[in-house]
Structure 1
């Protein structure tokens, strides 16, 4: 009997610490401007696309007009208004299909029309001021991570998805800001990694402005800068573990079903957004596997 009791206590001593360990949850961050926020319309999502609501999402109070924000919810659209959606739906759904045994969580803050040189500026260089959107993003992520820990999870930031650059190419920004995009993006990536103690966090971003327009005077500079920052560019601005995803062939909002913006030459439509999210997920999976 004594031996049985000792064996029981020994077994209990092994099992209890295992049961007490927090459950891992994979976290993916989303940031950027309008094509990250999402300008596609929920009403146009095809019936064949099913949102995986086992995925969880946390978004800032500046999305969906604050409705449902700053709390963990089943995966849903998180744009400026609830009738629009961004890459979160297909990104989260595809990631879950690629990682069926992992728990997936998305954290999102984005603002349409926001620039990198000022609004998303980390403020870590001389004479730089920390931008408002950067501050909002960091707070959103940290609050979301804290909430997961309070729920007994062990969150692991796997990657960040970024869709931005148009504002830095605008005529109103000035050509100097377009020229600085490679330097600014490199600095942004490196500082984001420091903020979350993730020195080599995967950073995935898509090409912007597939269509030339007169107001985007710095378009070519920004697009070249995107290439320069990618890991295989052999540029002085190249950052390890950064992947640039092609998006020039994606459907635009101007070609969307019953589009309210037939002349829109900037924003992705329903299938464009859905495809971009899936491309991001595939790229993340191929790199992290």
Structure 2
């Protein structure tokens, strides 16, 4: 009887203490955030337009926030260099990752972060981002042989695994704390793709969660407010996004306005891509929602 009572107490102690033990084990774990999507995830913010105070804050946390952008070079958080174009005549560009990293780092000053981002402009969830990718589907919606050959989910997962292997080689533990997604504009160009957006997004969420064995991994995504595509295509995708956010647990949709003033998330004159202020606000919104999930 004594042995039974001792065993019961031991099991009870272990059960009560498990969460604390896990918390202690994860105390020094690298917090990993996944980022994916098309051009508004790639980003068209101009780093030089940011207030000096924000730049100083970024520089202050850059020693513990690293980013991998479509390659395995884990660089300190900052802008990325890009060739100037007729549309954007600046070279220091950034997307949501900049303020996601900054906001999370300031909220958790004792933590280190790694952001792993893969974004390709002008790509669709129905095609290149399809978790059940096929050349047939890609050819239905993607323009050009190059984009039709892209299996972007596989590319991103491979990139994530490569980056996690680097952490393991350095003897560092890690925890994937969420996936942020900004995509959908190009699914509005094909009626079938627009109508299937919620279904395909649910499959995408499941793909990432099962691949990394994080069945409740937070998924935060932005609602598109583009104006191109087939008739009612963009509006259909917007509604499909709302359906997906209500149907899937641990997901949150960052809603956007459709009026051309873009007062919530400002855009460039092309009325498609978020400008410096828009990208800043978008990154903060993503990070704040991730924090809400983490604090639950």
TM-score norm. by structure 2 comes to 0.76
Cα distance change, pair 218–104 in 1 and its aligned pair in 2 (3 A)? same
Pair 1:59-2:69 in alignment: yes
Q: How far off is 1:151 after superposition? A: 1.1
Checking the alignment, whether the CA contact within 8 Å between 1:30 and 1:106 is kept in structure 2 is yes
Aligned match of 2:74:
72
Q: How far off is 1:35 after superposition? A: 0.6
Q: How far off is 1:161 after superposition? A: 0.4
Checking the alignment, whether the CA contact within 8 Å between 1:247 and 1:276 is kept in structure 2 is no
Find the aligned partners of 2:130 and 2:81 in 1 and give their Cα distance.
22
Cα distance change, pair 283–148 in 1 and its aligned pair in 2 (3 A)? same
* Deviating more after overlay: 129-138 vs 147-156: 129-138
Aligned match of 2:222:
206
Higher helix residue share: 2
Find the aligned partners of 2:248 and 2:285 in 1 and give their Cα distance.
20
Cα distance change, pair 79–213 in 1 and its aligned pair in 2 (3 A)? farther
Cα distance change, pair 175–25 in 1 and its aligned pair in 2 (3 A)? same
User: Aligned with 2:54: secondary structure?
Assistant: coil
Find the aligned partners of 1:251 and 1:21 in 2 and give their Cα distance.
35
Structure-to-structure mapping, 1:149-228, within 5 angstroms: 149-170=168-189, 174-209=190-225, 212-213=227-228, 217-228=232-243
Checking the alignment, whether the CA contact within 8 Å between 2:44 and 2:273 is kept in structure 1 is yes
Aligned match of 2:252:
243
Cα distance change, pair 206–79 in 1 and its aligned pair in 2 (3 A)? farther
TM-score norm. by structure 1 comes to 0.78
Count, aligned residues: 243
Runs of 5+ unmatched residues, structure 1 = 1-19, 62-69, 255-261
